[in-house]
């Protein structure tokens, strides 16, 4: 029974991806393109050379962080749509730390910057949490509003006080504060390793600690958890703070590892992508990492496809969006009573046969 559930959880995303690609192929054909050629370029772009492989890992890194942020919060039954804001706030603190702190430099400063980034993200994430548990406010709306505030504030900083020269962007972090490359010939930075470590910690916490168990219990049924004596509100707030911290450290890592400076478009869409990734990954940290990688494959590949075939990258955006549409519908479908019964009928028949034999 348990094995079957795991199998279904793995099958849903895979089938969704296949369906999304089929629809994507139809779409490409309908606007006069060659689907086979387009997808060949897509995968060549993502896997074709070690540089491209590296590019994909770099793209996956921020998505892993925001995906984990969404996973962690939703495991506790709260919806954090504010990962983008928390991501940006983390990066804001980091650029401030790395351009204004004196006396420390190199790796210690990077570590300080990452910790402060996580802290800032956590504080930004705590706001919807606090408003939810004290005022009963809808956490989704609050976190979305905070996204806009954070992004606009970042815009203010890179066009105003922290602007460098005529282009609206901040100055770059200096070379000593850039995250190291994992291997030569690609731009994979150690941030990817940090992302994997965070994923492992989240996995361990959620499934192998009693706090993690309680957190998931609150997510599954808060009334039952309350009568069991779990402090539901405390766990919800914790979920928000940790979720925000994960997104915040993601912003710091992106700043130190990839972008080096703040400019227009920093972090755009990562929050919602994270939610999509978490849902397709069935709220499992391992699934989240894999789906984040898939999204990154689609994105790096999309550029190659656009150059090679002239097919706009927006096709890939649609495929990505279809994956979530199918995956969520698929998860709901297998939970319907009729369908569940169908599954039980199929498996019990098999068992009967075994008995007869």
Partner 1 sequence: MGDILNAGFIQELLLSTVRMATPILIVSLAELYSERAGLVNIGLDGIMALGALVGFLVGYTTGNPYMGILAGAVAGVFVNMIYAFCVINLCAEQIVYGMAINIFAPAVASFIYKIYFGVNSSLIQGPLMEALPIPLLSSIPILGSVLFNHTPIVYFTYLMVPVTAIFLNRTKAGLNFKAVGEFPKAAESLGIHVIRQKYIACIICGALAGIGGAYLTTCYINTYSDGVVSGRGFIALSAVIFGRWMPGGVLIAALLFGFADALQLRMQVASSDTPYQLLAMIPYLCTLFALAFFGIKKAGPKANGKPYLREER
Helices marked H in the chain = 2-30, 35-47, 50-75, 83-100, 106-135, 139-159, 191-208, 210-220, 222-227, 232-254, 270-280, 285-309, 314-335, 337-356
With contact defined as beta carbons under 8 Å apart, do 85 and 151 qualify?
Answer: yes
Q: Which is nearer to partner 1, 114 or 316 (CB)?
A: 316
Q: How far apart, in Å, do the first and last CA atoms of the chain sit?
A: 21
Pick from 108, 136, 165, 229 the residue near partner 1 by CB under 8 A: 136
Residue 272 in contact with partner 1, rule: CB under 8 A: yes
Pick from 167, 314, 342, 344 the residue near partner 1 by CB under 8 A: 314
Pick from 5, 138, 174, 228 the residue near partner 1 by CB under 8 A: 138
List Cα–Cα distances, 357 to 108, 347, 354, in angstroms: 68, 16, 5
Q: Which of residues 140-169 bind partner 1 (CB under 8 A)?
A: 140-142, 144-149, 152-153, 155-156, 159-160
Alpha-carbon gap, residue 84 to 58, rounded angstroms = 18
Q: Which of residues 52-81 bind partner 1 (CB under 8 A)?
A: 79, 81
Residue 328 in contact with partner 1, rule: CB under 8 A: yes
Pairing of strands 167-170, 163-164: antiparallel
Alpha-carbon gap, residue 341 to 309, rounded angstroms = 47
Alpha-carbon gap, residue 316 to 303, rounded angstroms = 10
Residue 318 in contact with partner 1, rule: CB under 8 A: yes
Alpha-carbon gap, residue 3 to 286, rounded angstroms = 17
Question: What's the closest the beta carbon of residue 313 comes to partner 1, in angstroms?
Answer: 8
Pick from 26, 107, 329, 344 the residue near partner 1 by CB under 8 A: 329
Alpha-carbon gap, residue 98 to 109, rounded angstroms = 7
Tell me, residue by residue from 25 to 44, as one string, x for binding to partner 1 by CB under 8 A and - for no binding: ------x-------------
Residue 343 in contact with partner 1, rule: CB under 8 A: no
Question: What's the closest the beta carbon of residue 53 comes to partner 1, in angstroms?
Answer: 26
Residue 196 in contact with partner 1, rule: CB under 8 A: no
Which parts of this chain interact with partner 1 (CB under 8 A)?
Answer: 31, 79, 81, 131, 135-138, 140-142, 144-149, 152-153, 155-156, 159-160, 272-273, 275-276, 279, 306, 312, 314-315, 317-318, 320-322, 324-325, 328-329, 331-333, 335-337
């Amino acid at each position: 029974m348990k094995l079957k559930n795991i199998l279904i959880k793995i099958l849903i995303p895979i089938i969704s991806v296949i369906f999304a690609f089929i629809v994507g192929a139809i779409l490409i054909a309908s606007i006069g393109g060659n689907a086979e050629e387009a997808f060949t370029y897509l995968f060549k772009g993502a896997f074709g050379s070690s540089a491209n492989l590296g590019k994909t890992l770099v793209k996956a890194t921020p998505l892993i962080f925001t995906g984990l942020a969404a996973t962690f919060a939703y495991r506790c039954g709260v919806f954090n749509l504010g990962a983008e804001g928390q991501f940006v706030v983390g990066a804001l603190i980091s650029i401030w730390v790395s351009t204004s702190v004196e006396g420390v430099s190199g790796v210690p400063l990077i570590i300080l910057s990452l910790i402060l980034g996580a802290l800032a993200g956590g504080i930004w994430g705590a706001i919807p949490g606090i408003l939810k548990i004290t005022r009963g406010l809808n956490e989704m709306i609050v976190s979305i509003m905070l996204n806009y505030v954070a992004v606009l504030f970042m815009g203010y900083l890179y066009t105003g006080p922290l602007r460098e020269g005529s282009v609206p962007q901040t100055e770059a972090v200096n070379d000593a504060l850039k995250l190291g490359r994992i291997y030569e010939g690609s731009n994979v930075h150690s941030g990817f390793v940090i992302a994997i470590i965070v994923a492992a910690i989240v996995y361990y916490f959620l499934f192998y600690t009693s706090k993690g168990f309680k957190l998931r219990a609150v997510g599954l049924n808060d009334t039952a958890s309350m009568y069991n004596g779990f402090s539901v509100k405390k766990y919800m707030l914790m979920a928000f703070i940790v979720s925000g911290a994960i997104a915040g450290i993601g912003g710091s890592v992106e700043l130190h590892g990839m972008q080096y400076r703040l400019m227009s478009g920093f972090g755009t869409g990562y929050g919602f992508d994270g939610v999509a990734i978490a849902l397709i990954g069935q709220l499992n940290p391992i699934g989240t990492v894999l789906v984040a990688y898939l999204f990154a494959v689609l994105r790096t590949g999309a550029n190659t496809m656009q150059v090679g075939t002239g097919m706009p990258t927006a096709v890939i955006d649609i495929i990505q969006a279809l994956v979530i549409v199918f995956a969520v519908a698929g998860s709901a479908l297998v939970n319907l009573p009729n369908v569940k019964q169908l599954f039980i009928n199929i498996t019990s028949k098999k068992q009967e046969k075994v008995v007869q034999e």
